[in-house]
Amino acid sequence: MTALLALIFFPEERHILRQWQFQFGTLLGLLGAVGVFWFQPVTDTGHVAIRGLLIAFVATTCWALYGVLVKRPSAKLGSIRSFGLVSLITSSLLFPLTCAFGNVATPVHVTCLVNLILVISAVTCITMAHVLYYVAIQEIGVALAQSLQLLCPLGAVLLSASIFHERLTVAQICSAAILLFGAFLAMRVKPVATTETAENI
């Protein structure tokens, strides 16, 4: 999805999308990410709900649009200012929904440890992750930065195994290996200067 949007909106990234390393690496990464999710240990929760998959697909589409639309503003405003503006808009839109459907006083009723985990998550998993993502978009482009996001399922599985002692299946380990190889292959794309030089020979 992101690769198609980058192909439409960013001519400077089309040289990356045309290279077989990016295409094949992204395909392997996608297959590996699906395998890491699909071959998780069997639980008592039953089959995956179709509604949940549809919601996940919509969320993925929105994330792809987010990665594409944020490239130009982050280039002009800078990574930190851009994320600050995005956070302000997001908070302004979500606060009325929180008041309507949630409980604003929830942080007062939970333990200090829970609030500490929430703060650490906000600083590291949201703020730092988004700012660095903006920097990556400027350095390597939207398509390649988004392709490397396929490593997220692998990171989540490894953290779950270490923190919550969840068991990894053999199929998940094989899928993770395919995912890593796909990410490595996608990173082997030639920069624009090298591509243009080769085409002019």
Q: Is the pLDDT of residue 200 over 50?
A: no
Q: Residue 120's pLDDT band (boundaries 50, 70, 90)? A: very high
Q: Residue 89's pLDDT band (boundaries 50, 70, 90)? A: very high
**Residue 12, token pair as written in the block:** 């400077």
Q: Is the pLDDT of residue 12 over 80?
A: no
- Please write the tens of the pLDDT for every residue from 153-172: 778 878 888 888 877 788 88
Higher pLDDT, 88 or 53: 88
Mean pLDDT of 57-76: 86
| Sequence ranges of the domains in the chain | 2-200
Q: Residue 45's pLDDT band (boundaries 50, 70, 90)? A: low
Q: Residue 42's pLDDT band (boundaries 50, 70, 90)? A: low
